[in-house]
Every structure is written in C-alpha cells, then in structure tokens.
Amino acid sequence: MTPDLMEAGARRLAAYQQRQAGMGRNTESGGRQAAYGRLRDDTGPDFAHGVALYLEDVTVSFDGFKALNALSLSVDHGELRCIIGPNGAGKTTMMDCITGKTRPDAGRIFFGSTLDLLRHTETEIAQLGIGRKFQKPTVYEALSVFENLELALRGDRRVRAVLRSRLDGAQRDRLDEVLTLIHLKDQAGRTAGLLSHGQKQWLEIGMLLVQDPKLLLLDEPVAGMTDEETERTAELFLSLEGRHSLVVVEHDMHFVDQLTQGRRKVTVLHEGGVLAEGLLAEVQGNEKVVEVYLGR
C-alpha cells in the first residue's frame, strides 16, 4: 500500500463518515433505505487497483490459542478464490474477521484498496457490499421463494410492510434475473419450507445476490447437497465471477476442482496461516499440504 493510496483512503473514509452522520435524519425509513443507496456512491470501496480484499498479518487469539496467526491474503476484483484447509485451520474465523463478527488482535483488512474494514461494524460492512453465506440455510420457511427474495431486496425486516408495498420495474427485473440464476424460476410461488436442502441453499444465495454484493463469502456452500446440486452450484458461482468477487471455503475437492477448472488459484490454510497457494494440482502435489491435509 503506497502512502498516496493510504491518504486517498483516509479522505474517502472521512467523507463516508460525514455522509453517514448525516443519514438517518429526515427520511421516512429512518435511514434504512439511505444505507442501501450508499453502495452506489463514490465513498464505497475502490476497486480501481484490481484488489477486492486484502488481509495483512491478521491474528486472532482465543484464550491464548491463535486461530489466525499473521494471516496475509489478497483476492483480486472479480476473482473466484477457493480456500481449503483441514478442520480448525481458521477458515471460518477468517470470514468472521472480514465481516466484522470477530475483531482481530492485530493486522489489517482492506475492502478494495482503501477501505479499512476494521473501522466498521458488522452492519456497516454488510452495507458496504460484503455478503456472507453461512453453512446452515436461514430462509423464511413460511414465505414463498419470491417473498424471501423480495424481503432481502428491500433489506427490511418489517415483513408485512414490505409485502404490501410494490416493487418497481428494475427491482422486478433483478428478482427475475436472480430467480433464473439460482434455478428457482419455476418455484417462485412455492413455500420455502418445502424446498430441498440444496434449493434452500440457493435461495439464501439468491437473497444475498439481490443486494448485489461486491464480495461474496461462502462457507462450505455445498455441504449436504446431492452431486447434481453441487454441480449446479459450481455453475452458478462460475457465472457470478467477474460481476462479483467470491471467496469460497470448501472441503469437497471435487467441487473445488469444478470451480477452479485447472486454472483458478486455491489457497490452503493451516494453523491460522497460508500454507500454500496455487493451482489445485500444484497444492495437491505440495508435500506440506499432503502431510497436513490431503494425506489424512
């Protein structure tokens, strides 16, 4: 990070904070809609230098145990990056740090080349355009597929108020587009509780997509899916590459192979740091990796 970049970042942050302080007043929504609009102004993340996410020497201790130990990692704008590693390697903790759920003891995390995520709350980080998919799907089981997406699009939890108001044309188009992407177009009216496990996972991914996140974090997204669902999920993620940056944590090597197609980079985490990085075939042939992970 060069000093002029840092300075530009500080200026942006100050402008952002100023705007934020002025928000929430004189708006019917009490600021909720305003927060969504913030994604589109010039105080958001800066991807002009090609960086989507940048972690530097991030350390997290739990009672003296280092779940992350000086972790450094960089993901390009529009890249689809797979993260693998044995249980306890720190993969979920890394996502917790990026999303503001856990505060690191040391290190820095940047979204784009200038936006310092450690200065922001979990809610602000989501509003800045980082969407996270947890392992377990959390959809509104009693609502339809369409209603679930509609709620996510409005970013508002007042279910009845949202469902009574109308979508505009652009919003309708976006929901349609997402329904197609997640393979649930013909299930739009179906009660979400009746979907298969894989379909619920897709719906939850769709609920993130309608908010158009710049960066998507996906923690073991195909756990419990059938082979066919897994394959479709790989296709879905590949179709998102470029428009979004994606970080996918995954155990299923077959899925990682489908995602990387012999040309995308894989990062191997072990004991809270990067053990290896490269093409899947390269890291699978790396002795250290075989020892700690693949050879088990």
Give yes or no for residue 62 binding ligand ADP (CB under 6 A).
yes
Q: Which does 67 bind (CB under 5 to 8 A by kind): Mg ion, ligand ADP, none?
A: ligand ADP
Instruction: Output 147 or 220, the one with its CB closest to ligand ADP.
Output: 220
Give yes or no for residue 67 binding ligand ADP (CB under 6 A).
yes
Cβ 53 vs Cβ 75: under 8 Å? yes
Say which DSSP state 113 is in: T
The span from the CA of 287 to the CA of 178, in Å, is 42
Instruction: Output 27 or 62, the one with its CB closest to ligand ADP.
Output: 62
- Report the nearest approach of ligand ADP to the CB of residue 283 (Å): 16
- Report the nearest approach of Mg ion to the CB of residue 94 (Å): 9
- Sole binder of ligand ADP in the list 38, 91, 120, 244 (CB under 6 A): 91
Instruction: Tell me the number of residues near ligand ADP by CB under 6 A.
Output: 10
Instruction: Output 151 or 217, the one with its CB closest to ligand ADP.
Output: 217
Would you give the distance in Å from CA 7 to the centre of its chain? 27
Tell me the C-alpha to C-alpha distance, in Å, between residue 282 and each of 29, 72, 287, 289: 52, 20, 10, 10
CA atoms within 13 A on the CB side of 190: 15
Q: Which does 114 bind (CB under 5 to 8 A by kind): ligand ADP, Mg ion, none?
A: none
Closest CA to 85 of 100, 103, 101, 67: 67
Give yes or no for residue 9 binding ligand ADP (CB under 6 A).
no
Coil, helix or strand for 18?
Answer: helix
Tell me the C-alpha to C-alpha distance, in Å, between residue 116 and each of 48, 49, 243: 16, 15, 22
Instruction: Output 91 or 244, the one with its CB closest to ligand ADP.
Output: 91
Give yes or no for residue 132 binding ligand ADP (CB under 6 A).
no
- Report the nearest approach of ligand ADP to the CB of residue 65 (Å): 6
Would you give the distance in Å from CA 6 to the centre of its chain? 24
- Report the nearest approach of Mg ion to the CB of residue 91 (Å): 5
Instruction: Output 53 or 89, the one with its CB closest to ligand ADP.
Output: 89
Cβ 235 vs Cβ 202: under 8 Å? no
The span from the CA of 125 to the CA of 208, in Å, is 14
Look-up of token digits 């177009």 = 185
Instruction: Output 62 or 239, the one with its CB closest to ligand ADP.
Output: 62
**Residues contributing to the site for ligand ADP (CB under 6 A):** 62, 67, 85, 87-93
